[in-house]
Amino acid sequence: MAADLTLWLALGLVVGTLSLFHRYKPLPMPSEINSQPLRARTRHLLLLCWGLVTVQYGLHIWQLGQGMSPWLVRPDVVDGFLPIAGGLGLRAWLSQGIVDPHHPAATVTVLVFCLSALLLGRAFCAWFCPIGLVGEWLHRLRSRLMAGEWTPPRWLDAVLRSQKFLVLGFLLFIILLAVPAAALPGYLASPYHQAADMKMGAFFFNLNLISGLCLGWVLLLTTLFRQGFCRYLCPYGAWLALLGLLTPLRIRRDPARCLRSAGHDCDKCSRACPSRIQVHQLIAVRSLECSSCMSCVAACPKSADALHLGSKTSRLTPRWLLGMLCLLLLILPLLSYGLLDIWVSQTPLAVRAQLLQLLPQLAH
């Protein structure tokens, strides 16, 4: 009953949000579109939702730890922060037809992330990711306390960017090679896997030397450099970027209509790009760092003619981009629960409470 109520509340939130955008903020003609207010409202709304989810999950775990029967259900969307559990679950589902009963939401999340990357590239990073928005706030706070925009030299930037691909490689090794196919069912039934979300939470909230150093490094890069976490550390962003190479959607510049063709030394699009891509020198942006945030399009004096997001034959407006993201990342997970009953963890509360007490002793 509680899970059904959560489903309908979430569906109502999605439908209500899209209705408000359509009813009260109708987009003007393409020449007048500014994607940034729409993107900002979307990110702040989703960050608020994630904040509520965090509080709900924290209260749920606290009640379990106190030996109480939680009156708040576990928000299964937190499994989206379990890439290994999700990757192994997806591998078991595709290769053996086994649906992970303990973290099915992680499996669905990894699947819809892959679909969104193949269709829309890294748009999730710019439009939906709550961590990116928090990182921007931390960077702005540092800029106020210590003025100036710090840009590392090119060689250091390349070294730092390699970190997220190294982390991604480590995760892919575990998902694809470290667990043999014959051992997958046993691993998915293991106590360690069942407690994966609690182990992840304990890593960051019960700090030891290793987790403290990791968190410190994340905060250092996030505050020092604009989009430091997204650019240098996020393995999800690295994976979406690689899959996004296959999408036909790009930021595209028409040189004949660009102000530079008339002799103007305009580089507003490049200066607006948070990823420091030299958009004004490109015909189509194929950089792994492009997240389709459309900041460059919003900054272009001739954005309706010279710069747009789309394929070679069509354009994608901000409203359509947001709608497709909602369909892939919000509606599909809800349908997976409503139609396939794949979303809610089947781990009994009594088992979770027992695992919580044994958390320090759990190993692979």
User: In terms of C-beta distances under 8 Å and separation of at least 24 residues, what long-range contacts does 355-360 make, across chains too?
Assistant: 355/191, 355/194, 355/195, 355/198, 356/61, 356/64, 356/65, 356/195, 356/198, 357/65, 358/191, 359/195, 359/198, 359/199, 359/202
pTM: 0.88
Residue 196 within any structural domain of the chain: yes
SS3 291: coil
The domain of 350 spans 39-66+76-245+319-361
Length of the chain: 364
Confidence of residue 211 (pLDDT cuts 50, 70, 90): confident
Residue 215 within any structural domain of the chain: yes
47 and 128 share one domain: yes
**Six-digit token pair at 207?**
């700090």
161 and 262 share one domain: no
114 and 180 share one domain: yes
pLDDT of residue 31: 41
Q: How many domains does the chain have?
A: 2
265 and 192 share one domain: no
231 and 306 share one domain: no
Residue 1 within any structural domain of the chain: no
Residue 207 within any structural domain of the chain: yes
235 and 355 share one domain: yes
**First-to-last C-alpha distance (Å) of the chain:** 34
Residue 24 within any structural domain of the chain: no
**CATH number, domain at 259?**
3.30.70
174 and 266 share one domain: no
216 and 306 share one domain: no
pLDDT in tens, 113-131: 999 999 999 999 999 999 9
195 and 230 share one domain: yes
pLDDT in tens, 14-68: 555 555 555 545 444 444 457 899 999 999 999 999 999 999 999 999 999 898 8
351 and 209 share one domain: yes
Query: Could you give the CA distance from residue 19 to residue 218 in angstroms, rounded to a whole number?
Result: 37
- If you compute the radius of gyration of the chain from its CA atoms, what whole number of angstroms results? 22
175 and 289 share one domain: no
Query: Could you give the CA distance from residue 21 to residue 310 in angstroms, rounded to a whole number?
Result: 22
pLDDT of residue 28: 46
pLDDT in tens, 299-346: 999 866 899 999 988 999 999 999 999 999 999 998 988 888 899 999
Query: Could you give the CA distance from residue 90 to residue 97 in angstroms, rounded to a whole number?
Result: 9
Torsional class of 15: left (φ above 0), alpha (ψ -120 to 50), beta (otherwise): alpha
229 and 263 share one domain: no
pLDDT in tens, 275-309: 999 999 999 999 999 999 999 999 999 866 899 99
pLDDT in tens, 135-159: 999 999 998 888 778 889 999 999 9
Percent of the chain with pLDDT over 90: 73
Query: Could you give the CA distance from residue 343 to residue 341 in angstroms, rounded to a whole number?
Result: 6
pLDDT of residue 146: 87
